[in-house]
Amino acid sequence: MVFPQVEAFRGGENLIRVVGHRGARGVLPENSMIGFDFSLSINVPLLEFDVVLTADDVPVITHNHRLHAPSFRGADGLFLTGEEPKVSSLTFEQIQQFDIGRLDGLSAYGQRFPDQAQLDGVRVPRLMDLLDLVSEPKYGDAYLMLELKSDPDVVHDPLHRGNFVGRVLQEVRAKGLSSRAVLHSFDWKLLEECQRQAPDMPSSYLTQFPDNADDVGEDSSKAICPDLRGRRDEIPNLVKQAGGSLWCPYYADVTAENVAYAKELGLCVAVWTVNQHEEIGRMIDLRVDAIVSDYPGRVQRHLSDLGISWRAGNQ
């Protein structure tokens, strides 16, 4: 089966794709509409982002299962302190009370993004807000790498899983965008459910070795991702067998061998989150299909300098 949205992420002769990670987290608040606008404006129409369900079953775009204290401010203008409330315990309306426009510079997380613009009045978007945006005719070339975030507390609950996938698909289908989104997750069980409910949509398998899975200030993939240690060279085959169309490994986990093997199997290889100059160079050398980055402009600079395109044809 050829999925047009998989081809949108596939590289080629003199072509490596650029994907804006959470919009463009290095430049603008993560998972915000202004971040997606920016990525689209610089001709990076491949958007990676994270979806979680609220208490009232609204798919919203945010990374962690709990409101993330270093980037969430309450009505008092202060960053959250104490226990972070769960997204799934709040209604969409309640979540709209928080401002996600700034980073707490005192936090280790905040210090990771020293160039991020600081804004006020930025809200957690609904998945539907982004679907509406890319439905505008001028963004007909936008494709979505829609990450479904599995909550470790309910990861084994098939009812929850079915409902989550169902709610997301309902919105994607309502906007007629099933041919422009890939369903992306660390949770292989959830991707199985995606394939059951949406055989017409491709699955994108995220992987990360547990030794590399401790990004400061982020929900770890360890609770969700299968432990693949010792199977580095088998991963592409495992993804393929599971029904995957894309393999999305953490950049530190890839080798020339497993990239080549994945491509041989017909998988599209999109590596994340590649921010440092040396790593961008290394991923280009490995000829991955796509580079997911918080700094899409930086990746463009590398590709442009090498005469490599990030858009197919005359786009």
Which residues are near its own copies by CB under 8 A? 26-28, 34, 37-38, 41-44, 102-103, 105-106, 110, 113-120, 277, 295-298, 300-301, 303-305
Minimum distance, C-beta of residue 306 to its own copies, in the bound complex (Å): 8
- Comparing CA positions, the residue from 168, 115, 111, 131 lying closest to residue 33 is 131
Q: Based on CB atoms, which residue is closest to its own copies, 102 or 180? A: 102
Q: Based on CB atoms, which residue is closest to its own copies, 116 or 273? A: 116
Q: Based on CB atoms, which residue is closest to its own copies, 118 or 170? A: 118
DSSP β-ladder status, 59-61 and 46-53? antiparallel
Sign of the dihedral defined by the CA atoms of residues 5, 11, 15, 20, in that order: positive
DSSP β-ladder status, 17-21 and 290-293? parallel
Minimum distance, C-beta of residue 247 to its own copies, in the bound complex (Å): 27
Which residue bears the tokens 């590289």?
11
Minimum distance, C-beta of residue 116 to its own copies, in the bound complex (Å): 6
Rg, the chain, Cα only = 18
Q: Are 60 and 92 in contact (CB under 8 A)?
A: yes
Minimum distance, C-beta of residue 280 to its own copies, in the bound complex (Å): 10
Rounded Cα distance, 125 and 100, in Å: 10
Minimum distance, C-beta of residue 9 to its own copies, in the bound complex (Å): 19
- Comparing CA positions, the residue from 10, 7, 4 lying closest to residue 291 is 10
Minimum distance, C-beta of residue 187 to its own copies, in the bound complex (Å): 33
Question: CA neighbours within 13 Å on the CB side: how many for 109?
Answer: 19
Minimum distance, C-beta of residue 87 to its own copies, in the bound complex (Å): 24
Q: Residues in the chain, how many?
A: 315
Instruction: For residue 314, give every residue at least 6 positions away whose Cβ sits within 8 Å of its Cβ, in sequence order, or none.
Output: none
Q: Based on CB atoms, which residue is closest to its own copies, 121 or 230? A: 121
Q: What is the DSSP string of 44-92?
A: --EEEEEEEE-TT--EEE-SSSB--GGG-B-TTSPBP-SSPPBGGGS-H
Q: Based on CB atoms, which residue is closest to its own copies, 249 or 296? A: 296
Minimum distance, C-beta of residue 282 to its own copies, in the bound complex (Å): 16
Q: Based on CB atoms, which residue is closest to its own copies, 209 or 310? A: 310
Q: Based on CB atoms, which residue is closest to its own copies, 117 or 286? A: 117
For residue 138, the one-letter residue type is: K
Q: Based on CB atoms, which residue is closest to its own copies, 101 or 236? A: 101
Helix ranges, 185-292 (H): 188-197, 235-242, 256-264, 277-285
Q: Based on CB atoms, which residue is closest to its own copies, 228 or 308? A: 308
Minimum distance, C-beta of residue 121 to its own copies, in the bound complex (Å): 9
Q: Are 90 and 127 in contact (CB under 8 A)?
A: no
Q: Are 232 and 255 in contact (CB under 8 A)?
A: yes
